[in-house]
């Protein structure tokens, strides 16, 4: 099974020279529930938006899922993306010739078309929503850890350590995150799964940030 945390990042969102990136942090999980190895896949584009960054992350993840031919659990902190994938928005858009319920063109239809094609090539894909930035993690530290270990496994270990130290002092944030899980996923995440998803989200966020900064320097 694949556990995949996805996230997007942008620079100068809303401006014509916006740069967006998407990252997928992929953990290969064995039958005993432990991961065997990790990999990070990324994508970016210029003249973009923050929403497109999130969609690039999802498309990158789905391409990997298709190639791996495995069940996947995809974790996102984007409610827009989560709702689109769990409330049959894509099916309705296809039925309406890529128009919304108000008959407006679907925004970012080019990427949504690719996503719709990609997910229909995959096997079972389950989506989970997680609140972003539940624990603080230094941007420079995360960037340095990813430079030293592009797989993300060292950053993941450090995110677990940070969670274990910080979580006892962040009960209000955790309660808020779990309430959001009930709203979107329909249930509270177990303590360990919540910890796993938060740590994976840290890695995906850091990977997207690293890629968008590199792409911005090339602009």
CA 86 to chain centre: 15
pLDDT of residue 31: 83
pLDDT per position as a tens digit, 135-176: 999 999 999 999 999 999 999 999 999 999 999 999 999 999
Which residues have C-beta within 8 Å of that of residue 31, sequence separation ≥ 6? none
Confidence of residue 14 (pLDDT cuts 50, 70, 90): confident
What does pLDDT average to over the chain?
94
**pLDDT, average across residues 101-123:** 93
pLDDT of residue 219: 63
pLDDT of residue 188: 96
CA dist., res. 206 & res. 122, Å (int): 26
Percent of the residues in the chain that have a pLDDT greater than 90, as a whole number: 89
Tokens linked to 112: 């949504």
pLDDT per position as a tens digit, 25-37: 999 998 887 778 8
Q: Which of 66, 84, 76 is nearest to 123 (CA)?
A: 66
What's the predicted TM-score (pTM) here?
0.95
pLDDT per position as a tens digit, 26-82: 999 988 877 788 999 999 999 999 999 999 999 999 999 999 999 999 999 999 999
pLDDT of residue 36: 81
pLDDT of residue 183: 96
CA dist., res. 206 & res. 116, Å (int): 26
**pLDDT, average across residues 108-129:** 95
Lowest mean per-residue pLDDT among 68-82, 89-103, 109-123, 126-140: 89-103
């Amino acid at each position: 099974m694949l556990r995949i945390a996805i996230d997007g990042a942008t620079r100068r969102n809303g401006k014509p020279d916006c740069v967006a990136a998407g990252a997928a942090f992929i953990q290969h999980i064995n039958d005993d529930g432990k991961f065997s190895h990790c990999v990070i896949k990324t994508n970016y584009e210029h003249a973009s938006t923050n929403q497109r960054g999130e969609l690039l992350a999802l498309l990158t993840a789905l391409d990997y899922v298709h190639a791996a031919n495995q069940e996947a659990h995809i974790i996102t902190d984007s409610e827009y993306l989560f709702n689109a994938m769990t409330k049959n928005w894509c099916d309705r858009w296809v039925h309406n010739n890529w128009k919304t319920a108000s008959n407006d063109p679907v925004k970012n239809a080019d990427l949504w078309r690719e996503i719709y094609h990609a997910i229909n090539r995959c096997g079972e894909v389950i989506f989970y929503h997680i609140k972003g930035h539940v624990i603080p993690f230094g941007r420079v530290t995360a960037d340095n850890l990813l430079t030293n270990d592009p797989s993300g496994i060292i950053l993941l270990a450090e995110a677990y350590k940070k969670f274990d130290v910080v979580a006892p002092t962040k009960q209000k944030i955790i309660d808020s995150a779990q309430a959001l899980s009930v709203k979107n996923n329909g249930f509270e995440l177990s303590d360990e799964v919540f910890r796993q998803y938060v740590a994976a989200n840290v890695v995906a966020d850091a990977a997207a940030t690293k890629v968008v900064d590199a792409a911005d320097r090339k602009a």
